[in-house]
Amino acid sequence: MTDRRPGRSRRHAGKLAWAVLLVVSLLAPLPIMGLAADGDKARFTVLEASTRLVSEVYLLDARIAFDFSPEAIEALDNGVPLTVELQIEVLETSDLLWDGTVATLSQRDSIEYRALADLYLVTNLNTGELSSHTNLGAALAVLGQVVNFPMLDRRLLRVGSSYSARLRARLDVESLPLPLRPMAYLSSRWGLTSDWHEWPLTP
Amino acid sequence: MATHPLKRLASGPLPAVTLVGLLLVSLFMMSESTQNSAQFGRLYVWLLGLNIAGLVVLVGLILANLYRLSRQIRQQTAGARLTLRLVVIFSVLALAPVSLLYYFSLQFLHRGIDSWFDVRVEEALTDSLELGRSSLDLNMRVVLRWQQSLAEQLVDTTEGQSTFILDELLSSSAASDLTLLGDNGRIIASSSTDPTALVPSQPGEDILLLVRERQPYVGLDQIRDLGLSVRVVVPIEVAGSTELRMLQGLYPVPERMSELADTVEEAFTKYRELAYLRTPLKYSFTLTLSLVLLFALLAAVWLAFLSARRLTAPIRDLVTGTRAVAAGDYSQRLPQPDNDDLGMLVRSFNEMTRRIAQSHDETQRSQRLVEQQKAYLEVVLGNLSSGVLSIDHDLALRTANSASEQILDVPLCDCLGQTLEQIASDYEHLQPLYKAWDERARLGVGLAWQEEVTLFGARGRQVLICRGTTLAASDPEHAGQVLVFDDITTLIQAQRDAAWGEVARRLAHEIKNPLTPIQLSAERLRHKYSPTMAPDDREVLERHTETIVQQVELMKGMVNAFSEYARPPQLARNPLSLNPLVEELVELYRGSEAGVTLDADLDASLPTVIADAGRMRQLLHNLIKNAFEALTDQVGGRVAIRTRTRHTSGGQLAELRISDNGPGIPDTVRERLFEPYMTTKLRGTGLGLAIVKKIVEEHGGMIDVKEPRSGGVSISIRLPVAIAEGAAPTNGAPPHPPDARHA
């Protein structure tokens, strides 16, 4: 039987309103948080990536094209250091279940402009290694050249299983100065992230 | 049941305080992170999202409250409009100062940030940087020349010799590191003042490209472990070969100059970064401030809803309670709010409803008592055998008991509100009663009157004894009259019967008893003395004794006739059709008297009456005989008998009329025509018409005598008809015997 009592329908309407409100409030921040991920994702591109097994260690060689947006270059030229993060993941692939993560690595490099010397400094934040360049292109070329990066000890992989590795590069918005961050969160011009580049890894 | 505490908790101030508190904390953390706090900086995006979610929740709550309020206003719920007014007032009160604060805060913020930057400072810093560059340029040019002179010494040096030569050159120069590079950037030889440096700092591809173009490169560089240094790379044309080599030298900038250059560069970079971040900084602060403003506004509006609802709750209760009281529910007790003015009002309301409820109960008790008394009075009046009518000051009938309806045979309950005149015009048989009341009722207040009234309706003749009183009342609404009447028809009949019975008994005792000795004595005288007397005397004696005996017999007949008249009737009433009886007697008398014609005009539709056939026969005998006797010695005497049906307000009546064309009624007897022993005839007993009248009254009828202008006498008799005609009881008893009306 249909209950047509007004009190019950009002209570149902009230519960529905609360549910809608809750969902809307939970979804409301998503556009803000997701804006950085939208926009031109292809500004950073992993051109190639491969691994070599040398002395039981997988070494990563990769080439990445960093195409900074004009806003990012303007910030760089105004003395704002930019941090680029290379995210590397080794996955154990499975046909039945989702892929398991074997290892996660991160390589962070910062690029900054030195006004006195009119140079671009590229610093490997993991090793502290410095390199200076007279122009931005040369600095980005060095930044995008990954050679002999020790990725994984082979003994961590089981024989018989299939593995894959993937790599992506992104501009670390969290490392920007705080006043820039809201704009970086809201503007797609700061959402500089490459797609994942994945390749098989044979133990 | 378990949901009640939760519901109370959810609807109380706790959720509001919690939400506002959480949002405040979130805003504080966001503000801290905006001010470069490393502690909250990483959480900035989450804090931003959390705050926006909180604001959406607040907007949702406000919308829900608005919807609820609009629905209450549409439904005209008590206190809804007051709540709306309070919400608008609170919101406007909050909006004005917060907006002002927001505006001026933004102004101060923007001006404050702008004030950090000064053109002169910027120029000074740029000039400082330029000065530093100029100073270092001079140094670099010296170093370049020095490096080129060193390179010239390596023009014809083989790769194997170059290491030694580089060591010599290093020792004789200010360089901290000298490296000989091939065309492709390969290190041929290297010499450094730092023995731990295994690999020299190499020039970048951009520098190598420049040098390959046979251009020297000199520039400042930040060298690891060396600090600010001058990097110089010059080309070397190998003698006798097309091979190009490069000589790189790293010359540390003097420490003091390096410190100064670092300071200038750091200040310049910081200032430039700040200048660049000026707009994002304003944007960031404006965003935080706007969030705070929105939060303050929305929280104020929401709290305005909560406060207004809380404030109007007692008023809403009061309105609900007032409506309940207006609807007659005096049991309303409002919940006690705080001990404030509204609380006092609610307490007063509760006290008022309590007293109203008491008064109402008291009134209801009194009303019940009055109703009980009224019902008791109605029962008493209903059980009274007397009819009681009350008439209001407008002469309209106000109350009538059931006895009055029975006596008058009128549905008086349907006539309440009508005047007696209207009722009497609708029911004509009540006219005598109305006339009697109308004459007496005008006598005045407080005066009582009594009168005997005779009605003649469908039930026949009724004698009522009426008593009326005008009521005295201070309030004209309650003034009026009371009319009490009793049907004394039977009583009068009984009294009359008793009186006549007594007369008959006395006559028998006083007159009839002596007659027999008189008669016997006369006969004895005749028997004793007749034989002894002379024939003449005997003849005289016999004639006189015969006269005595005859007169005594005559007196006995008279006494017997009177006894018969006075004897209580033993009636055998049955449905009786008058027409056959009339026809029978007409045939009996037709031609019995010479010179007198007897005509009958009978109504074929004459209804049946309830009557004793013998008594009715006697009645007709007496009437016809009386008419014939009136026409004695009259030429062309004519007697007419006619029956008719009469319709009155009380029902049908059967009318019997006997007319003659005799000399009429002498004036001396007209008033006493129906009294016993009233006769104009020499041999009449004087009981003929008295008996007729008696029989008519025994049957509840009316008798009337008229003298038409054409002469003679016309006697009409009206008898009530049987109510259920054709449904005569088989036992011969009348359906509604008049004498048993009040039995």
Interface contact A32-B49, CB threshold 8 A: yes
Residue B733: the pLDDT is 34
Q: Check CB contact of B58 with chain A, cutoff 8 Å.
A: no
For an interface test with A, give the residue of B33, B57, B228 to mutate (most A CBs within 10 A).
B57
Residue (of A123, A82, A130, A124) closest to A107 by Cα position: A124
- Rounded Cα distance, A151 and A135, in Å: 30
Q: Check CB contact of B413 with chain A, cutoff 8 Å.
A: no
Give every strand in the sheet of B177-181, ordered side by side.
B187-192, B177-181, B244-252, B227-237, B217-223
Residue B728: the pLDDT is 40
What's the Cα-to-Cα distance from B113 to each of B278, B282, B283, B286, rounded to whole Å?
A: 7, 7, 11, 12
Q: Which residues of A touch B133 (CB under 8 A)?
A: 116
For an interface test with B, give the residue of A20, A23, A116, A121 to mutate (most B CBs within 10 A).
A116
Interface contact A80-B287, CB threshold 8 A: no
Beta partners for residue A104, in sequence order: A89
Q: Which residues of A touch B265 (CB under 8 A)?
A: 114-116
In this structure, is the dihedral angle defined by the CA atoms of residues B456, B459, B462 and B465, taken in order, positive or negative?
Answer: negative
What's the Cα-to-Cα distance from B368 to each of A3, A67, B361, B363, B372, rounded to whole Å?
A: 44, 100, 10, 8, 6
Contacts 24+ apart (CB under 8 A), A47-54: A47/A144, A48/A197, A49/A146, A49/A165, A49/A167, A49/A197, A49/A199, A50/A199, A51/A151, A51/A165, A51/A199, A51/A201, A53/A154, A54/A148
Whether A173 contacts A185, CB under 8 Å: yes
- Rounded Cα distance, B713 and B570, in Å: 30
pLDDT < 70 positions in chain A: 1-42, 96-97, 203
Would you state the structure tokens that stand for residue B376, as one six-digit string?
A: 């008791």
Q: How many CA atoms lie within 13 A of B589 on its CB side?
A: 26
Q: How far does A21 lie from chain B, in Å, by closest CA?
A: 6
Q: Which residues of B touch A133 (CB under 8 A)?
A: 204, 206
Q: How far does B206 lie from chain A, in Å, by closest CA?
A: 6
pLDDT in tens, B170-191: 888 888 889 999 888 888 888 8
CA B558 to chain CA mean position, Å: 83
Would you state the structure tokens that stand for residue B463, as one six-digit string?
A: 């004698």
What's the Cα-to-Cα distance from B171 to each of B194, B504, B556, rounded to whole Å?
A: 12, 192, 203
Q: Would you give the DSSP letter of residue B102?
A: H
- Stated as kind and residue range, the H or E segment containing B496 is helix B489-507
Q: Would you give the DSSP letter of residue B724?
A: S
pLDDT < 50 positions in chain B: 1-3, 9, 37, 725-743
Q: Which stretches of B153-230 are DSSP H helices?
A: 159-172, 205-212
Q: Check CB contact of B15 with chain A, cutoff 8 Å.
A: no
Closest A-chain CA to B260: A116
Q: Which residues of B touch A79 (CB under 8 A)?
A: 269-270, 272-273, 276
Whether B487 contacts B407, CB under 8 Å: yes
Residue (of B221, B295, B298) closest to B258 by Cα position: B221
- Chain A segment 110-129 residues within 8 A of B by beta carbon are 114-119, 121, 128-129
pLDDT in tens, B654-689: 999 999 988 888 877 776 777 776 666 656 667 788
Which among A25, A135, A174 has CB closest to B53?
Answer: A25
Q: Check CB contact of B224 with chain A, cutoff 8 Å.
A: yes
Q: Which residues of A touch B128 (CB under 8 A)?
A: none
Interface contact B221-A117, CB threshold 8 A: yes
Secondary structure (H, E, C), B407-438: HHCCCHHHHCCCEHHHHHHHCHHHHHHHHHHH
In this structure, is the dihedral angle defined by the CA atoms of residues B731, B734, B740 and B743, taken in order, positive or negative?
Answer: positive
Q: Check CB contact of B366 with chain A, cutoff 8 Å.
A: no
Residue (of A62, A36, A41, A37) closest to A51 by Cα position: A62
Q: Which residues of A touch B283 (CB under 8 A)?
A: 179, 182-183
CA B23 to chain CA mean position, Å: 49
Which among A80, A114, A183 has CB closest to B265?
Answer: A114
Q: Is B409 left (phi over 0), alpha (psi -120 to 50) or beta?
A: left
- Chain A segment 183-202 residues within 8 A of B by beta carbon are 183, 185
Reported ipTM: the value is 0.73
Residue (of B733, B722, B693) closest to B572 by Cα position: B733
